[in-house]
Each structure stands twice: as structure tokens, then as C-alpha cells.
Structure 1
């Protein structure tokens, strides 16, 4: 079974010490940290080097390594002023990777939708949107390279990078220096894929597994025409298929739990562990 980690936002409002304590009890060995998250550690200086080092030490004391940073933002925000401000913030987080003890920082590509980065928009499918995305990612990737960091891109079916094939295209066009992808099939599964999940997930792994140093754990749900990615066990994704692919294709990649509340973590981990046990038996 892949070693387990969690997104820091699962514990919103908790101190870093309390997060590390609870996470240790669940057997987590990794955390993906959002540097902006309040953790009662120099919260008035979210991007300071000293704060990063303090938070890192708190987690390492409990045997938890920081596997990556969450720098998620809408890279293609149609509001250019907000886009530029968020890009500068992401650059500050890239500079902090080494202080947190990681090389990885993740972001989604976002959407040109005027009000919601998680909704589809016809402009997302244009050559112009793709070219603009490449320009922005290349700029951030170049900064990452200078800092010995790696920019991780997380695709999403309603964003500009919407398919695993586009993930391959991104890597072929920009190369692998300072750039990689997150293994998150739940983001890519279409409603049609739900009836053919083994083939769909296998294709996702074929496309992006060679570029994926981190995997995510959540679910896929289509309900009344709305696409969401809720916590493990509350959607329509076949976790047995995912566990089998991780075990055979990416066994050494950390698996990071998302979209759960603290009181839901144990149930999510139970589902994950049982899925891996089933995969091993078959």
C-alpha cells in the first residue's frame, strides 16, 4: 500500500501542533501544506522563511514529512489584475519550497469562466487559452527550476487542462525540467467514463503516471448535471480499480487524502486500506 498523507486544509482552524498530533495518530507520514493556512504559527507572516521552518519542524517532530505545497490558484483568471496578484503569490510559495523541505508545489490550471474557476467555459477549449496556459506555466516553471523546485499541475475535467491526453501534451511541449503532474483520476473522469472505469483509469495512468510524483485520494460524483470530487467513499469512483493501479504502477508515490473533515478521516482511511487489500487479493 502507498504511504499515506493528507491535505492540511482538512484541519482548518487547528494549530500546527494539533494537526500533527492528530495526523500522527492516523498513521500519516506525509502532509501537503497550504502556506496561507492559519496554523497559529506566525500567521501574520504567511510567506516568511522562519515560519516555514517552524511549521516543518512541528510536523517532522511527529514523523510527518511535507511532501508538497498547495499553491492552488486559477492560472487563467479572466480578471487580469487578480491573475497577476495570485501569480506573484504563487511565486513567493515556490521560493519557500526548500524551507518546507520539499521540491513540489501544486496548482490547478483554472478556467476562463467569469465567476467560477471550477465551471466549464467554451473559451477553455480554444487554442488561444492553451497557448496562454503554456506561457504562464513556463514562466512559473522557470522560477521553480531556479529554486530547485518542481511545479505540479493538477488537471480537472472542466478546466483548461481537462484530460490526461492534454497532460501528456503539456509535458511534451514544455519538457520535464521543473514540471510534473499530479495523479488524480477523480478529476479527469467524465460521466461517460463511470460505466468503463477500468479502461478510463488505465488510460489516465498510461498518460500521466510517468510524470506523477504524488497521487491524490478522493472521489468522483456526477449528480443532476453537476460534477464534484467529494471525499473518499461518497462518490461513484471505483476505488478498487484505483488501488490496483497504484499498487502496480505507482507503488512508491505518496497518496494524499483530500476533501474530508477531521471526523471523517478514519472512515476514509478504512475504505482506502480495504481497497488495497482487495487489490492485492485479486
Structure 2
């Protein structure tokens, strides 16, 4: 077996975690990104909800179905302009770190956020000031991850201060900890005006060249360009050159979790088969 295809758990409709795990198992999915705030429906979830019993129960539900929690998703705005909101976000992420082993989670993942309360595209995220705020927050979170022997994963994109592969490389160098790894989603680094096949190849190659050894999870999504915007579509229905991307993954990152993102029913099985076919044929 040379592929490990998974999905963001919240892209599958569910009423409870047991049902969610059964649905995922029925599709032959091996790995998930589990965003607790989006997938736990049994009770309202907040900072006080976290305890060893809760984390262990969730971990067992998926482990008994042979499903790995590759990413415990806790996507926060780590540089929120409201200092109170920022502090609450950082502490919430730290709580995920502290219980990661009970959840049986391989990593705890996030994006970096942005300079405004709502994440949006703005060149204001591209300033040195915004970048240094990210460095400060990531250092705090990685220090916590090191204490608990946990891997923190960070995802970049044009809506964030980590807007390019080179910026991600700088962040990794500035933090200087192997407890910080990368979720790679090439589509995140594409602009509507330049999302060509050649640009995709450049982004993929640059990411693997600059920090290939630090890529620990792949996000797989697809897009079309409509009204000068990238519109996300199910994997296999868009413009991503998956033949090229899969060849790169097979060469350099065998068995890395490749998690479908924003592919929902009724397209999940078809998109999984699309990726499997590319693994067999490329």
C-alpha cells in the first residue's frame, strides 16, 4: 500500500461521533482531521469540556475503527487584534496540545490567522509586523508542544501572514523546533489571476525543496476560476494537476496522510477513487 487517503471529518454530516466513525470506516478512510468544535454534536464544547475522560473516549471511538486522527484541528486566529480574543485562542490551542495523546492525535494543527478579526485576503497580512506577531504566537505554542512531546502543524496560504512557501521556510527557521511541522495545501498559495498549471508546479516544487522534510500532512482540494475568484470544487472536478502532485508525493512522502478538504457528499467516494487511480497510474 502506497497511499493514505483521508478526509476532514466535518466534511461528513453526522449526528454523533460514533455514527461519524462508522461512516468513515465504511468508506475505507484511514485518516482524518478532527476539528472537535465542528464534529462534536453531543454537547456544547468549550475550554471547560476538556478532560481525560472526554479525550480518551473520542480517541477510542476512532481507534477502534482503525482510523488515525492525523490532525486534531484547532484553527485559531493566533494574532487576533483583540488581545482578549487572541489570549483565549492561544489557550484553547494549548488545551488541545495537553490532551493530544489522550485523543491519540498525531498532530495539532492550525492556520496562523490574520490582522483582522475575520480571516480575509489583505496585503496587510504581508507586513513584517504581522509576520513577527505570528512568530511570537507560534513560539509560545511550540514551547507548549515541546513540553508534552506533541507535534504542532501549521498551514499557510495567501489569506495569512505565511502567504508563500518561502515565508513558511522563514517561519520554520525562526522557530527552530522539530515540534513544528507543516500541513501543505498548494491551492492555498494560488491567486485567481495566476493559478496556472505552471504556477501550481512552482508552488509544489518550492514547498518540497524548501521544507519537504517538514511536511507531515497534505490537504487535497480542487478549484475552478470563476468571476476572478478561486471556487472550490470536489477533488477531481477542477484545475489542480493531481498527476504532477501525486508523483511528487509518491517520490518523496510515501504514506503521508492526504486529507480531502471541502469535498462532501455525494462526491467523497468518487474523489477518493480519483486519487487512488492517480497513485496507481503515475
TM (normalized to structure 2)? 0.90
Partners of 2:231 and 2:111 lie apart in 1 by 15
> Which is further off, 224-233 or 55-64?
224-233
The runs of 4+ residues in structure 1 deviating greater than 6 Å are none
Partners of 1:251 and 1:75 lie apart in 2 by 31
Deviation for aligned residue 1:92: 1.1
Residue 157 of structure 2 aligns with which residue?
156
Partners of 1:98 and 1:258 lie apart in 2 by 24
Residue 134 of structure 1 aligns with which residue?
135
Unaligned runs of 5+ in 1: none
CA contact (8 A) 2:197 2:240 kept: no
Compared with structure 1, are the counterparts of its residues 46 and 267 closer, same or farther at alpha carbon in structure 2 (3 Å cutoff)? farther
CA contact (8 A) 2:184 2:219 kept: yes
- Choose which of 54, 58, 68 in structure 1 pairs with 2:57: 54
Compared with structure 1, are the counterparts of its residues 108 and 156 closer, same or farther at alpha carbon in structure 2 (3 Å cutoff)? same
| Deviation string, structure 1 residues 64-111 (Cα, Å, up to 9, x no partner) | 122220011122222332222222211111111111112410000122
Report the secondary structure of 2:263's partner residue: coil
Deviation for aligned residue 1:19: 1.3
Residue 192 of structure 1 aligns with which residue?
194
CA contact (8 A) 2:3 2:276 kept: no
Compared with structure 1, are the counterparts of its residues 229 and 79 closer, same or farther at alpha carbon in structure 2 (3 Å cutoff)? farther
Residue 109 of structure 1 aligns with which residue?
112
| Deviation string, structure 1 residues 1-52 (Cα, Å, up to 9, x no partner) | 3212221111244311111111112111112211223535565564222111
Residue 33 of structure 1 aligns with which residue?
34
CA contact (8 A) 1:77 1:111 kept: yes
Aligned CA RMSD, in angstroms, stands at 2.0
Deviation for aligned residue 1:217: 1.4
TM (normalized to structure 1)? 0.90
Q: 1:61-80, aligned counterparts within 5 Å?
A: 61-80=64-83
CA contact (8 A) 1:152 1:181 kept: yes
